Amino acid sequence: MGSERYPAIVRLWESSWAEFVPFLEYDVEIRRVICTTNAIESINARYRRAVRARGHFPNEAAALKCLYLVTRSLDPTGGGRARWVMRWKPALNAFAITFAGRFERTTH
């Protein structure tokens, strides 16, 4: 039924299946990290908006300061690091197990 109604989608899945199956073998926490691009896209959109609003910068330091201020405005109280650690802890553990010997955890 689906192949008659959506032939392009079916061909896409069939041609990409070999690349998709190994993804399913990863731990659910690792898959969640791989699929989580919304936060990255959101900050990139904020950077673009800030740069577009400014128009141009007299030097590289001014541009970096603008991006730094945008980044700081995302977490003005500084409490985001604790939330970030809690959100990433299961994924970091899964990476450490899956890629033992190739994944080094650092403590800060």
Report the chain's terminal Cα–Cα distance, integer Å: 54
pLDDT in tens, 23-75: 888 888 888 877 776 777 888 999 999 999 998 899 999 999 999 999 888 87
pTM (predicted TM-score): 0.48
Do residues 95 and 30 touch, judged by C-beta distance below 8 A?
yes
What per-residue confidence (pLDDT) applies to 106?
Answer: 60
**What whole-number distance in Å separates Cα of residue 78 and Cα of residue 13?**
43
Considering only CA atoms, give the Rg of the chain: 20
What per-residue confidence (pLDDT) applies to 63?
Answer: 93
Sign for the CA dihedral angle at 53, 55, 59, 63 comes to positive
